[in-house]
Amino acid sequence: MKNSYVYILKCSDNTFYTGVTSNLHKRLIEHQSSKYPDSYTSQRLPVSLVYYAEFTDIKYAIATEKQVKNWSRAKKEALIAGEFNELPNLAKKNFLK
């Protein structure tokens, strides 16, 4: 069974890019070399890998990528820092005043 990866890159403009791939090393080279010139990361080079998670089922990897893409910056930073106990507290919430 082929493994898949969800990864987060930190871009030169201090933004994060979240993606999914079955070949992490190859995909990082593609990002760094601007293989896709119109892509988000090619306009924000250099990028650095700040997080990745390995999955044995591509369906779970894709679902996780979609979930993480919708997270706040604070929640992504907690994930990157390994502060897993903070993740539930950083959900986007709208409180009435």
pLDDT of residue 89: 85
Q: What is the average pLDDT across 20-37?
A: 95
Report which DSSP code applies to 40. Answer: T
| Domains, the chain, with CATH or none | 4-71 (3.40.1440.10)
Contact 19, 65 (CB under 8 A): yes
Q: State pTM to two decimals.
A: 0.90
pLDDT digits 0-9 by tens, 46-88:
999 999 999 999 999 999 999 999 999 999 999 999 999 988 8
The pLDDT score that the predictor gives to residue 73 is 93
